[in-house]
Structure 1
Amino acid sequence: MKISTTRRGSTLVEGPRRVLLYSGSYNHITDGVTLTLNRLVAYLESIGIEVLVVAPTSRNPELDHAGTLVSAPSIPAPGRSEYRVGTIITPALRHRMTSFKPDIIHVATPDLLGRWTMRFARRKEIPLVTTYHTDFSSYLKYYNLDFLENWLLGYLRYFYRRCDIVCVPSQSMIDELRGRGIEGNIRIWARGVETDRFSPLHRSVEWRRQMGVADGIPLITYVGRLVQEKNVHLLIETHKRLKQQQIPHKLMIVGEGPERERLQEALQDQIFTGHLNGKDLARAYASSDIFFFPSTTETFGNVVLEAMSSGLPSVCSVATGSSDLVVDGITGFLSPIDQFEIMTEHIAELVIDPVLRKAMGRNARFEAEKYRWEIILGKMLDYYKEAAQTVHPHVRPPRTPVAVS
């Protein structure tokens, strides 16, 4: 059996044997981050790697989690109580993390407990990988917290330059971070999609009729959390403009969140499904005709990729994530968020022209084939192995080599 020794003295058998993952969310809420991390943990365990997950939990988790999960102290996130912020390290939690003896530490959230975990990795001279899932600074304006931007950017610079590898989901996110002065060994770790699950084959005319979509009427769909930072108010504006132009359509909104009540009041004759998953979500995508996603706060845009895999053309904002997935004019359209008239024109064009709609949908499906999960998950294992061979500039290497027999 081949044994390699890192320059910090960690002993690895064909790569890491034990991975410690800290995340601010893992099973208490369902979103792109939690689904991605659970899939990663399941993959690591399937190839014989032991994983210990440390994360805030709740009494009513939304996900059946993968891996061994240890609950971390936390408080509700300000303004977004459905999310939680890891806070302090308890003696019991410190003991559990230390006795696990991880070969790799992976931090997915740079909150208070994420900071402690980062410093724990540095003190213990354990290779440290982090994944950048949330563009925190872009959220500030939606909660009147712009005055915190300089402080937040300073903290993020401090945090990420102490990591061996920083994984972001797209090239546009790398450009965004470097433009803010966040440097380091930044690599791309995209997200994947189950192309068999999210497929045009799941389209159902019967389901459309059950949902109240008349035959021949294009169905425009949004999938995501109903929160203001996703620019969901533009769903209302889009519907109004199409209606004013007498363009037949139906709008379907898939998801839950604090903005649902306001949206339902303004869109009383449209479809609200609530949260969907599994086969129900796959069928909803495939039975739609156009995907509309105006968010500008994504780091990747998992739902855009799911829509593409389902054979839908997408109309999205020019933003990190979406801009890396949608090929403008080929698989859909990209529009600046401050030029909403152009965005509406693109949607109207797809509604009116079924030939263009279907051609872009076929192109989108072809593009989505490049993002199969088996390729994406294996890439993270490569990054773990690379991190194990890296000496972080802020960490002293061991004074004497560790002998391996």
Structure 2
Amino acid sequence: MDASDLRIALVSGNYNYVRDGANQALNRLVAYLLRQGAEVRIYSPTVEQPAFEPTGELVSLPSIAAPGRKEYRVPLGLPAKVRRDMDAFAPNILHIASPDISSHRAVTWARRRQIPAIASVHTRFETYLTYYHLELLEPAVRALLRRLYRRCDGLLVPAESTAAVLRAQRMNRNIAIWARGVDREQFNPERRDMDFRRSLGVADDELLVAFLGRIVMEKGLDVFADTIDELARRKVRHRVIVIGEGPARPWFEERLPSGIFVGHQEGPELARALASADVFLNPSVTETFGNVTLEAMACSLPVVAAEATGATNLVRDGHTGVLAEPGDFQAFADALQSYASDPDLRRRHGEAGLEFAITQSWDHINSAVVRTYFRAIERRARLARIKG
């Protein structure tokens, strides 16, 4: 097979209505597939004013606002009209990108037609429950995830650390790596702007600590704030820049009264804000891959992160940054204090991170998805021949 033989139906709970790392990766994948001559049709909830224009043909799925998080949509399955559209499109591979009811129905639709199904895992949803005090539901959520993923022909995950977790949870035996790339034209050390820092009231010799991402509790905002409080208790000279928006911004602003909140940034402005910091702090444990961590490394920033699936595949402890036990704000503060007192250490770790980021080409990474599609199609054809 050639990539131009592929007809991919992609089902996702969020393709473009709220910007996040997962749907930006999906849009980049679709752009790559289209350049290779493949045909792609995307099925996802839509809104009147999405965060960005979608790449490829997008068919709207019926949805409702997520309880307590109205910016997100919950798709409500595959109505007859959508199923007819999928039948007419006649895909030879189904790709689901979110463990919701529409994806469950799509996998059922594909299995009835002997079409192979691949699931990409972007977020460890079961870890979110801790932030909403719903830990008791974790076994049930994990069982639902297992039921969905084991009905698929394979999984795509962004890192071997995530694959190891999913294997231990018996989610699927066929797991391939679909890492993440970084736009080096956008994110690079040349974006650093001392005049921009000064315009924010940051002195040249102050350690500027960056947060980048949606401002939601599951990003470890409590640990981030506790770490900054600890730096203040130790009288370490520092400032904090918060890049992004989200429903927890009022809470975060209250916890970081001296923080510099620059809101949502895009393009060169985003890269400038990030590259103008001195160190990136990411205490989150919910990601399968730290897109923002890789972007910080591309800007030559050392990274202080939780030793969890989203960071262990990127950050080399003591070489490109520091990995600390999740939730250990004292250890996070120790790392930041070391960087504050040793600019040469910051430089060395930042340069090592940049060397790694340079190797992360999007086209090379996305080609692994095509190979996974081919293997799934060939495996399904082989099973059909055996049964026949």
TM-score by length of 1: 0.92
Structure-2 separation of matches of 1:392 and 1:322: 37
Percent of aligned pairs with the same amino acid = 40
Aligned length in residues:
388
- Structure 1 residue 14 displacement after superposition: 4.8
What amino acid sits opposite 2:124 in the alignment? D
Match of 2:75 among 82, 86, 93: 86
Q: Is the 8 A contact 2:43 2:58 kept in 1?
A: yes
What amino acid sits opposite 1:78 in the alignment? P
- Structure 1 residue 154 displacement after superposition: 1.5
Q: Is the 8 A contact 2:224 2:329 kept in 1?
A: no
What amino acid sits opposite 1:278 in the alignment? G
The answer for the alignment partner of 2:184 in structure 1 is 195
Secondary structure, aligned partner of 1:389: helix
The answer for the alignment partner of 2:334 in structure 1 is 345
What amino acid sits opposite 1:318 in the alignment? E
- Structure 1 residue 396 displacement after superposition: 5.6
- CA deviation string 1:63-94 (max 9, x = no partner): 11100000001122233222222112222111
- CA deviation string 1:356-382 (max 9, x = no partner): 000100000001122111211111111
Structure-2 separation of matches of 1:277 and 1:227: 19
Q: Is the 8 A contact 2:230 2:330 kept in 1?
A: no
Structure-1 separation of matches of 2:300 and 2:220: 24
- Structure 1 residue 153 displacement after superposition: 1.5
Match of 1:327 among 295, 316, 320: 316
- Structure 1 residue 49 displacement after superposition: 1.3
Structure-1 separation of matches of 2:3 and 2:313: 33
Secondary structure, aligned partner of 1:325: coil
Structure-2 separation of matches of 1:66 and 1:338: 37
- Structure 1 residue 183 displacement after superposition: 2.5
- CA deviation string 1:186-232 (max 9, x = no partner): 11111111122210011111111112211221211010111111111
- Structure 1 residue 106 displacement after superposition: 0.6
Q: Is the 8 A contact 1:139 1:297 kept in 2?
A: yes
The answer for the alignment partner of 1:32 in structure 2 is 21
The answer for the alignment partner of 1:128 in structure 2 is 117
The answer for the alignment partner of 1:181 in structure 2 is 170
What amino acid sits opposite 2:87 in the alignment? T
Structure-2 separation of matches of 1:25 and 1:322: 23
Q: Is the 8 A contact 1:125 1:397 kept in 2?
A: no
Structure-2 separation of matches of 1:160 and 1:399: 23
**Mapping 1:193-272, distance limit 5 Å:** 193-272=182-261
- Structure 1 residue 163 displacement after superposition: 1.2
Q: Is the 8 A contact 1:290 1:314 kept in 2?
A: yes
Structure-2 separation of matches of 1:108 and 1:214: 44
Match of 1:314 among 277, 285, 303: 303
The answer for the alignment partner of 1:298 in structure 2 is 287
Structure-1 separation of matches of 2:374 and 2:4: 6
Secondary structure, aligned partner of 2:32: helix
The answer for the alignment partner of 1:19 in structure 2 is 8
Structure-1 separation of matches of 2:223 and 2:341: 20
- Which protein, 1 or 2, shows the higher relative CO under an 8 Å CA cutoff with sep ≥ 6? 1
- Structure 1 residue 15 displacement after superposition: 5.4
**Mapping 1:36-75, distance limit 5 Å:** 36-75=25-64
- Structure 1 residue 241 displacement after superposition: 1.8
- Structure 1 residue 318 displacement after superposition: 0.8
Q: Are the structure 2 counterparts of residues 147 and 225 from structure 1 closer, same or farther at C-alpha, using a change threshold of 3 Å? A: same
- Structure 1 residue 399 displacement after superposition: 6.8
Q: Is the 8 A contact 1:16 1:385 kept in 2?
A: no
Gaps of 5+ in 2: none
| Large movers: runs of 4+ above 4 Å | 395-400
For structure 1, which segment, 235-244 or 136-145, has the greater mean C-alpha deviation from structure 2 after superposition? Answer: 235-244
- Structure 1 residue 114 displacement after superposition: 0.3
Q: Is the 8 A contact 1:15 1:385 kept in 2?
A: no
Match of 1:274 among 253, 263, 266: 263
Q: Are the structure 2 counterparts of residues 182 and 269 from structure 1 closer, same or farther at C-alpha, using a change threshold of 3 Å? A: same
- CA deviation string 1:116-163 (max 9, x = no partner): 111111111112111011101111121222222222222211111121
- Structure 1 residue 284 displacement after superposition: 1.1
Q: Is the 8 A contact 1:160 1:183 kept in 2?
A: yes
- Structure 1 residue 332 displacement after superposition: 0.2
What amino acid sits opposite 2:230 in the alignment? R
Question: What is the RMSD of the two structures over their aligned residues, measured on CA atoms?
Answer: 1.7
TM-score by length of 2: 0.96
What amino acid sits opposite 2:317 in the alignment? D
Does the alignment pair 1:383 with 2:388? no
Structure-2 separation of matches of 1:315 and 1:229: 17
Secondary structure, aligned partner of 1:54: strand
Secondary structure, aligned partner of 2:138: helix
Structure-2 separation of matches of 1:240 and 1:111: 38
